[in-house]
Amino acid sequence: MLTTTAIKVLEPGELDDALAVLDREPVANAFVAARVQVAGLDPWRLGGEMWGWYVGGRLESLCYAGANLVPVCATPEAVRGFAERARRQGRRCSSIVGPAGPTAALWSLLEPHWGPAREVRAHQPLMVTSSPSTEIAPDPYVRRIRKNEMDLIMPACVAMFTEEVGISPMAGDGGLLYQARVAELVGSGRSFARIEDGKVVFKAEIGAATPRACQIQGVWVDPAYRGKGLSETGMAAVLRYALSDVAPVVSLYVNDFNTAARASYRRVGFKEVGAFMSVLF
């Protein structure tokens, strides 16, 4: 029994306790909750460890430590504990991402040891909706990508990732992990695009998905087609699929400097309810 504050790696038998913490903030925690609901807490299946912060023997906060370091419902005391464990272990992640407050606190403690970061995006508005706008008609040509269309969607996915993150997802392992993730989304029916003349001109995915909330990601319009309203009508179409087929609440987060995208998402029906932060290495 843990009688004081303590931190440890959660075991598979503690799944219900972890899900109870994740369920406190289903929108903000959708990314981690989706992974846990599919893989459980076994590190091999989860793709990382789940650290737990306990107070008086009760699980209070979590931190997913895999390719991303993600604080979950993290109190200031938990953040300090997670930072110390991460510092001792050494950096294994490619990013730190999560709600802006805890993520900023975590980075402030890790920066002297892990810095400098390649880029810090300190304020990324979190936007949410449970009903689409009636002002924007969904694009009728946006549809699910089929499993035999990987060669069609991959170039658009690589272009989006490179433009957004600043490096190609094909570096390092030759893109094997990235291709596997794209294939997973296509296979689960959560990859959408508008295709003209055999070319993707708009695309987006429903990334993290739980019964309570899901998250749209990877929104991209071919540069030659920008300024024609495809992002709005395309997002309206993906939002329709998300609300009807996946979850009652849909979220996304966007860079604060991308004022055009933020305005576009508001017109589709999203409202800003908080902020995320990303530290990229």
- Per-residue model confidence as pLDDT tens digits over 177-197: 899 999 999 999 999 999 999
**Which tens digit of pLDDT belongs to each residue from 144-189?**
999 999 999 999 999 999 999 889 999 878 889 899 999 999 999 9
SS3 for 60-104 is EEEEEECCEEEEECCCHHHHHHHHHHHHHHCCCCCEEEEEHHHHH
156: tokens are 């658009």
86: tokens are 């991460």
Q: pLDDT value at position 4? A: 80
Residues 258, 273: Cα–Cα separation, whole Å = 17
Which pTM does this prediction carry? Answer: 0.91
* Angle formed at CA 152 by CA 236 and CA 224, multiple of 5 degrees: 60
Q: Considering only CA atoms, which of 250, 38, 34 is closest in space to residue 132? A: 250
Q: H-helix or E-strand containing 192? A: strand 191-196
